[in-house]
Structure 1
Amino acid sequence: MADLSYHEQQKQKNTLRLRELLSQLPPFAYEFFRGIEPVTSPKTRIGYAYDLRIFFEYILEIHPTLKNKSINELCLKDLEEITPDHIEMFLEYVTYYKKPHPQNPHKIIEYQNDERGKARKLAAIRTFYTYFHKKRKINGNPSSLVEMPKIHEKNIIRLEIDEVAKLLDEIESGEKLTATQKRYHNYTKARDLALITVLLGTGIRVSECVGLDIKDIDFDVNGLKITRKGGNEMVIYFGEEVEKALQNYLAERNKKQPKPGHEDALFLSLQNQRISVRSVQNLVKKYASLVTTIKKISPHKLRSTYGTNLYQETGDIYLVADVLGHKDVNTTRKHYAQIDDQRRRSAARAVKLRKL
């Protein structure tokens, strides 16, 4: 795998993970996943597989005529035994449930799902049933009769302009870090500053950020070549602050000796290998906690910060959708609708009928 690019390695890992999950699903599930392969991303298929596994495990526990079967014994006709009531019971069940740990049966793991988690699971079940119903391999689609959970829109959690400045200052100074954290800060300061500046200054996803190679930077045009979800390549442009942070980091990065297979990676861990998504999540959480204690800031919230700032500056929802890589502009419009609402409220306050 050393000769493969990061994205090719991820594709191989996802392929192997999906195969493992398919072995835990009814045999006819293979046809479904083969059928949706051209129109879905690997992560979407893996998400469907997880949700369908939980669904079938539940059905085999509670269904009066199916509970004597194993998951490998289920056939397509058994889908017709499942009613809308069973699916609604499943959605209620996943609100909170417990399962033994896969590697340690003596350890119990607790799971919870809000309306978004339930909606994702119902979407997986609907897609599954719809596929076989369209192929006329089953009669009826009970999942279409189950109401999608109502999603309560949440306010965008993001950093304000002064909080962004404080965050970058904290990364540079490291003054508020613990004694243990300060020991590593000198080794990681330039990297951390460049990484978080890139996230704040381009709005790219954390997965796109960790996948960056040195050759993906073009300082002639100040552009980053990234690989979007689904594998499409795109160039995202950055400003002077991102350029300066990257140049400073590269001066250190070029002196390091990466481990075999990680020579091209832009952002390296302390172990001199490509930094992981989890590590980036942890370092964002570490620095953000020094700036705000009431907001849970993640890499995705830095993306929201960029999107909000770009929309406030340009008012161009199509530009924001394009730069953030949203396939549907309605997704973007829905997400940033509250900014328009704030503008309308400020308009109401701006008009005075009587001067006091």
Structure 2
Amino acid sequence: MARPGQQQFYNKLEAILTELPWYVEEYIDKKRRKLSAASLLNYCHDFKIFFSWLLSEGFFEGSMKDVPLPLLEKLTTQQIEDFLSFLKFELNNKDLTINRKLSALKSLFNYLQNIAETDDLQPYISRNVMAKIELNSVKEDQETTANRMEGKILIGDEYEQFRAFVANDYLQIVQDDKKKVNFYTFNRERDTAIVSLFLGSGLRLSELVGLDISDIDFKKSCARVIRKGNKEQYVYFSEQAMLDLLTYLEIRNARYKVEKNNKALFISAPMGPKGKSRRLTPRAIEKLVEKYAISFGKPSLSVHKLRHSFATRYHAEINDVPKLRRQLGHSSVQTTMIYTHIKNEDLKNAINKLNMPKD
């Protein structure tokens, strides 16, 4: 079930797909599970510019929707360079924008050559001209990196909304699938505690995976972690993370049938002939975050993006770079400075008010 904002993007996506070739629609369908509707819509806009250019240059006489696959197979590297020059000098696209459009085309052509196949198991195209074209060399400054990151992290109310989604609202998404309902109900407290701890501390995936129960200081709301360089550090986490941890620990031993010698904080469901539970693996945590992110309508959200989300919020509310650097365990302050360039909701709202008509 798409959220209202997402549904608008889906509607626009369906409309633009009616103008594009069938193989583009097939490619987009394959990407729906991994990319947001907004990202897919951007891809389609980029594809439309490319196919429109093909028609304007006389490569094909007909509609955009009917551009055949053999035409793509016969394009030369010089013709693609001409298209990139068109983007730069006719559309005034910057190098980063050109790279984005080129990346979208590279992904499409890669699908046509290496993933899609005909009924007789042949690739859609045997020659991929886009594989021969290099992206522009662009060195991002901190503000550019921050702006690119901003659309992929939790901003403003999304911070609480995502935690609440994992804690409760996900059930509405899977309510018609008994297997998923049972799996979610079994792991709800654990998954909520994991997401809450990421959002409330900014821990790295490896740091969270390695936590034992004895590493948690319940009086001071902090955790003992081993950071990069094998350095030991105590990292503070939020009150909400503490509450979610305590809720999880109330059911941990009985529900997961934890053996006394298993001190891992986060445990997998009992597996194997003997039904033993074990420490959750990094990949298992990545997959559970990915599952909730896709259902939440923000498929680009990952474990690392949860860390970025924490850092962005921390800086917006506290504005203390040295403390944030220590909390995140950065060796260089320059890495931490990226978060000072990400716009927060208060700044956006203040700017929006400047544009409001006066009475």
TM-score, length of structure 2 as denominator length:
0.52
Residue number in structure 2 paired with 1:16? none
Task: Flag the structure with more relative contact order, 1 or 2, with Cα contacts below 8 A and sequence separation at least 6.
Answer: 2
Instruction: Map Cα deviations across residues 314-340 of structure 1 (whole Å, 9 max, x no partner).
Output: 111222111111111111113432338
Query: Which of 173, 176, 180 is the equivalent residue of 1:176?
Result: 173
Where in structure 2 are the equivalents of 1:239-258 lying within 5 Å? 239-255=238-254, 256-258=256-258
Number of the residue aligned with 2:310: 306
Question: 1:245 is paired with a residue of what secondary structure?
Answer: helix
2:284 aligned partner, one-letter code:
S
Deviation at 1:342, TM superposition (A): 8.7
Task: Give the whole-Å Cα distance in 2 for the aligned partners of 1:338 and 1:159.
Answer: 12
Mapped to 2, the partners of 1:340 and 1:251 lie a distance apart of 36
1:170/1:176 contact within 8 Å kept = no
**Post-superposition offset of 1:163:** 2.3
Equivalent pairs: percent with the same residue? Answer: 29
Aligned equivalent of 1:198: 197
SS in structure 2 opposite 1:176?
helix
Q: Give CA deviations for 1:247-285 in whole Å, capped at 9, x if unaligned.
A: 11111113344469x701100111311101111111111
User: Could you tell me how far apart the structure 1 residues matched to 2:160 and 2:353 are?
Assistant: 29
Counterparts of 1:37-56 in structure 2 under 5 Å? none
Matched residue type, 2:320:
D
Equivalent runs, 1:118-267 vs 2, <5 Å = 150-151=139-140, 153=145, 154-156=148-150, 157-173=152-168, 174-177=171-174, 178-255=177-254, 256-258=256-258, 263-267=262-266
Shift of 1:235: 0.7
Q: Which has the higher helix share?
A: 2
Distance in structure 1 (CA, Å) of the matches to 2:234 and 2:153: 24
Aligned in 2, Cα 1:339/1:225: closer, same or farther, shift over 3 Å? same
**Quick one: structure 1 residues 175 and 328, their matched pair in 2 at CA, closer, same or farther if it must change by over 3 Å?**
same
Instruction: Report whether the alignment pairs 1:330 with 2:330.
Output: no
Q: State yes or no: 1:319 paired with 2:316.
A: no
Instruction: Find the aligned partners of 1:186 and 1:347 in 2 and give their Cα distance.
Output: 42
Taking structure 1 as the reference length, the TM-score comes to 0.53
**Judging changes above 3 Å, is the alpha-carbon distance between structure 1 residues 327 and 194 closer, same or farther for their aligned structure 2 residues?**
same
Q: Assess, with a 3 A threshold, how the Cα gap between structure 1 residues 217 and 350 changes in structure 2: closer, same or farther.
A: same
SS in 1 for 2:149: coil
What amino acid sits opposite 1:187 in the alignment? Answer: F
Question: Which stretch shifts more, 305-314 or 329-338?
Answer: 329-338
Could you say which residue in structure 2 is the equivalent of 1:53?
none
Q: Is the 8 A contact 1:213 1:266 kept in 2?
A: yes
Give the gaps of 5 or more residues in structure 2: 1-105, 111-133, 271-276
> 3-state SS of the aligned residue for 1:204?
coil
Structure 1: which amino acid aligns with 2:237? F
1:287 corresponds to 2:292: yes
One-letter code aligned to 1:222: S
Q: Which amino acid aligns with 1:277?
A: P
Structural RMSD (CA) = 3.5
1:124 maps to which residue? none
Classify the secondary structure of the residue corresponding to 2:188: helix
Q: Which runs of 4+ in 1 moved over 3 A?
A: 256-260, 340-343, 345-352
Corresponding residue SS for 2:235: strand
C-alpha contact 2:311 2:339 (8 A) present in aligned 1: no
C-alpha separation in 2, matches of 1:239 and 1:340: 20
Give CA-to-partner distance per residue, 1:207-246, whole Å, 9 cap, x none.
1101000100111211111111111111111232111111
Deviation of 1:347 after TM superposition, in Å, equals 6.6
In structure 2, how many angstroms separate the alpha carbons of the residues matched to 1:341 and 1:239? 21
Counterpart amino acid of residue 169 in structure 1: A
